[in-house]
Amino acid sequence: MVSTISQSHFVKQTSFSVEYAPAHITKWRSERTGLQVTYIDQPSPVVNGYFAVATEISDNSGCPHTLEHLIFMGSKKFPYKGLLDNLGNRFFSSTNAWTAVDQTVYTLTTAGWEGFKTLLPIYLDHLFNPTLTDEACLTEVYHIDGSGKEKGVVFSEMQGIESQSWFISFLKMQQTLYAKDSGYSSETGGLMSELRHLTNDQIKEFHKSMYRPDNLCVVITGSVDESELLRIMEDFDNELSPLPSVPNKRPFVDSKHDFPLTETIINEVEFPDKDESMGELLIAWIGPTADETVLNVALDMVGSFFTDSAISLFNKHLVEIENPMATEIDYSTDDYIRTGLNFTVSGIPTDRLYEVDLKIKELIKTQTDPKTLDLDYLKQILNQQKLKFIFTTEKSPSTFSNIAISEFIYGKTDGSDLSKWCKDLREYEILEGWTADQWCTLIKTYFVENKSATILGRPSARLNTLQKRENKELLKSIREKYGKDGLKELTDNLEKAQEINDTPIPDSILTQFGKPDPSKISFIETNSYKSGSNNIETDYIKENSFDKLLKKDCPENFPMFFHLEDFKSQFTTINLVMSSTKADPALLRYMSILEEIFSFPIKLPSGEYIPYEEVISKINDDLIEYQLDNGFDSQFLELINVKVKFETKNYNKAIEWLLYVLKYSVIEQSRIKIIIEKIINSLPDKKRNGELMMYSSQYRTLFNDSTLRKAQDCLNTEEFYKDLLQKINDGSFHEIEQDLNNLKNQLFNLNNFKIFVVGNSSSLSTPISSWTEFANDFKDNNKYVLEPFEKMPRSFQFKSDIGVKCSEDAFIVTTPATESTHLISSTPIPTDYLDKDIFKIALASEFLTAVEGPFWRGIRGVGLAYGASIRRNIETGYLNFSIYRGADAEQAWLTGKKIIDDYSNGTLKFDTVSIENAVAAIVNELANGESNNYDSANCKISDNLFKGRGPNYGTLFLKELNMLTADDLVYTTKKYFQPLFDAKHSVLFTCLPPAKAESFQKFLVDQGYKATIEEINADIEHDCESCNSDEGESDEESEEESGEESGEESDEESDEESDDDAMVADK
């Protein structure tokens, strides 16, 4: 839609269609204020807004990050904390933000244009005219509470990450690679030592200098009314100050630039951890300028060439070897004015850190000689990465929005770089013609002659002990400094600030804008078809040309189940889904090995042997992505899924690879030994993840040995894999070989295969008969009997005795590397997706855990935890209350309990406006779950087949929600939510620092739980100590845990229901 707005200050700088994706991009710039607008027109029911500010600072004060938080505390027109979020909930929207080294970006995600256009000017008003009160600064940034503990939402975030290995290494890299006064060397999140002294006046000054109209770009994606968008922006632009006569300085662009190092530097840093066996390293260079797009794409290809697969240069020499020197190597870039080039290596035996640094540099040097460069593999990488890029842009406009943000910060002011960076695939076309000499020159220029900074990350038990002691001493000194009266005064000041911040938003303000109509949201529709032994009746299309082709193409009594989703695309994905219950439960522990099956050698019936290196190389010619994992679409974790993605023209080749890999892969000792060694060496890094360890405790406890959740748990299988390695060393590999072949035979058979073809299905000429050879090779003497979907395994069917009882047990896991507390409490709920109570649980959860809802204000808002939520997981049959990166877990748990009790007994009321907002928020979640063709197709498969809740579930869901009343929510909190905090009806799991274990154990015992402590260490057996009384006290005083910024919670719970999950916001 072309704008015809007269006398507009917004001048169109560029407008073009993207040649390789369904997108049209237009950019305007206001001649009056310099405000920029970029619109990426790509069909979707979801409209995304990214409001980008280029933020430059040369210190570690944290002004960019703290300001990001304070923006959401109200504007001068709307001086209410949480107004954006409350309105957002009402208008099918969610807000968020992130702060990076060179940018702060505020996001608005809305189901439909109607809600987005209402919120847009209100959001922009918050950016340009925030209240920035001292009270908001006190609660959000830093304060000391009445017990002498340091808190504040931002402070807790940084407290939670400052001692983590990645943070320490990355900060040291920034300080090594960039000048001291460079914005790129700063920690924009704010170091704790700086946050303690940061003032609100400093933040206000930073806002004044950076949040200018000419330093902000509004990037919008989705389906919008372009003329309305320009009219809204024009009206808002008229309220802003015009450009000054002397142009403002552009952050970074007009600053002193950093150039590559003049000498190679190697620095060593320590991070606290009891386990000193495994370290990591980071090697970084400063590369070409942002506008040298051919060079930047070429360097991305070289990075993938070095690290992308098991046969890539680095992996072949450091990872895929006996006694691996590392477990994982990644390449990444920092997209600054000059691109930062980074290799991150993890799982390095500590005594080999320097050796790995030297080895990587030696390997890079070998690639400066055209005689040793594998040009064919490099060209394969180029083609595969190009196809991945096309697929990503076809699926989602997020790639274009990221480019638009970078173009705003670093591109030419006339907007011409946007077309250069987005319109076509010119860079790939140029690189397809590069010779070996050109590639070698590139590698020599940027990775050999260009000087690097290496950061060696070494775990330190001494530092771990020192940090604990310093934390105790700090707490003691604060209490001594303020004394009883001083702490009382701090408490009073904090309570006054919280009272001012939490001034209620009048309902009249929330309702004055009306409500959007959900019927105006244009959801994506894909076409469903069936074939083979699929006898399910759902919304399959019948008797059109493609359905007739399917019937004609399907051999009689064909022993395979097919479901096909069709939409316009260059690509197709095959999901071959299996039940894990066909395997002997004792063999399921081998699944982490079987997940590597695409890197096994193959022996064909003809006798031809294909070594694993050649397998990977040939697969990469034909497929874009391939994996064996559990679950479908990040749900249903008792299923096993072999997933391959490819250009649709390679359909037959994809089927052939599935046959070769599943039927003819070879269990070879040297390959299996390397995989086992990688699994074992990756454990120390996993044990540093407190949240992962909490979920490990939950899975090992609530489920029995027949479930994949337990069978694939890293701690549950630790001794198993060490025993396997010992068997190999003792000459008993044949036992492992037999087990793996048995596992393959039990899982990989026609009775256990269900095929889902998603993508451009209708373009296939032989969609079913192409599987004939596959079916014939898998045929055996057994009768073909397809297992119905109702018998597909679900996690709740595999509960342990403790999981069934779900009463009184609490499990505390301690790991030295964590500074934060993670907690999850579980209680039973129905497992039928259409149970009426599920709808009530969904609405009550959304009401209580919404941004700026009761949990948000009561727990996060006062600094008790970075996030708290209640989520239903129908697959496991549990309702879960979780504390995410707790700063005061005891008080967070008690506060959550009090909130639930107060709503249950009527002290607090479920008000009508908030109930309406909760329903609207669920609409937004539903739309986000189906924001593109691929997600919409997978959602249909989940609803119609795996969940059995029908093709019109979304309509049914909203109908049921709109019928619910406050009384229904009171019923729900009493029946399901109160048991979460009742030891007689729940099981609790938590991971926290060792020094806090005994005090938290005593707290849980006081709540009625029987608490067990498990200490996680890498080099010793797990210690387990059960205590059912409050005998004994810790010899260490409890330290304060902290929260950390995060846009998402652990993917360990990825199969929880998305349409009522309360996301942990970044802001």
Domains of the chain: 527-778 (3.30.830.10), 805-1060 (3.30.830.10)
DSSP annotation of 760 reads B
Q: What is the CA radius of gyration of the chain?
A: 29
pLDDT value of residue 1017: 66
Q: Are 688 and 819 in contact (CB under 8 A)?
A: no
Secondary structure of 307-366 as H, E, C letters: HCCCCCHHHHHHHCCCCCCCCEEEEEEECCCEEEEEEEEEEEEHHHHHHHHHHHHHHHHH
**Taking the CA of residue 1049 as centre, how many other CA atoms within 13 Å lie in the half-sphere pointing to its CB?**
27
CA 335-337-338 angle, to 5 degrees, is 75
Q: Which residues pair with 813 in a beta bridge?
A: 991, 1014
Tell me which H or E stretch contains 49: strand 46-54
435 half-sphere exposure, CB direction, 13 A CA radius:
6
Q: Give every CB contact of residue 190 below 8 A, 6+ residues apart in sequence.
A: 60, 61, 62, 63, 65, 66, 154, 158, 198
CA nearest neighbour of 138 among 200, 72, 68: 200
Q: How far apart are CA 794 and CA 637, in angstroms?
A: 8
946 DSSP assignment: I
Q: Which of 165, 593, 176, 184 is nearest to 345 (CA)?
A: 165
Which residue, 289, 281, 288, is CA-closest to 265? Answer: 281
Place of tokens 């469903």: 528
Q: How far apart, in whole angstroms, are the C-alpha atoms of residue 887 and residue 880?
A: 19
Partners of 703 in beta bridges: 799
The alpha carbon of residue 653 and the mean position of all alpha carbons in its chain are separated, in whole angstroms, by 32
**477-482 — which CB contacts under 8 Å span 24+ positions?**
478/144, 478/148, 478/149, 478/150, 479/147, 479/148, 482/144, 482/148
Q: Extract the tokens encoding 745.
A: 């035979």
**pTM (two decimals):** 0.91
10 Å CB burial of residue 177 (0-12, 13-18, 19+) is buried
3-state secondary structure string, 282-311? EEEEEEEECCCHHHHHHHHHHHHHHHCCCC
Give me 48's structure tokens: 């995304």
Cross-strand bridge partners of residue 504 = none
Question: Which parts of the chain sit beneath pLDDT 70?
Answer: 1-7, 781, 1017-1067
CA-CA distance, 547 to 1059, in Å (whole number)? 32
The answer to whether 722 touches 679, Cβ cutoff 8 Å, is no
Comparing C-alpha atoms, which of 305, 275, 445 is closest to residue 376? Answer: 305
The amino acid at residue 942 is S
Pairing between β-strand 328-334 and β-strand 103-111 as defined by DSSP bridges: unpaired
Q: 5, 97, 343: which is closest to 851 by C-alpha?
A: 97
Contacts by residues 1003-1007 (CB-CB < 8 Å, ≥ 24 positions apart): 1003/890, 1004/810, 1004/812, 1005/1029, 1005/1030, 1006/1030, 1007/981, 1007/983
Query: In the prediction, which pLDDT does 1055 show?
Result: 41
| Cα–Cα distance for residue pair 843/903, rounded to 1 Å | 14
- Looking up tokens 């039928």, which residue turns up? 832
Q: Tell which residue, 326, 316, 395, 393, has the closest CA to residue 355.
A: 326
Angle (CA) 633-630-721 rounded to 5° is 155
Asked if residue 250 lies in contact with residue 101, where contact means CB atoms within 8 angstroms, the answer is no
Report the pLDDT value the prediction gives residue 800, as an integer from 0 to 100. Answer: 96
pLDDT in tens, 924-943: 898 888 999 999 999 999 99
Q: Are 339 and 288 in contact (CB under 8 A)?
A: yes
Q: How far are the Cα atoms of 326, 801, 811, 998, 1011 from residue 1014, in angstroms, in the given order?
A: 28, 19, 7, 11, 10
Q: Are 718 and 725 in contact (CB under 8 A)?
A: no
pLDDT score, position 7? 66
Distance CA 946, CA 675 (A): 32
Query: Would you give the DSSP letter of residue 411?
Result: S
Q: Which amino acid is at 430?
A: I
Pairwise CA distance, residues 215 & 36, whole Å: 8
Residues 6+ apart with CB under 8 A from 852: 81, 82, 85, 86
Residue 385 tokens read as 């990465």
| Structure tokens given for 440 | 């070698």
Under 8 Å between Cβ of 62 and 125: no
Mapped onto helix, strand or coil, the DSSP state of residue 556 is coil
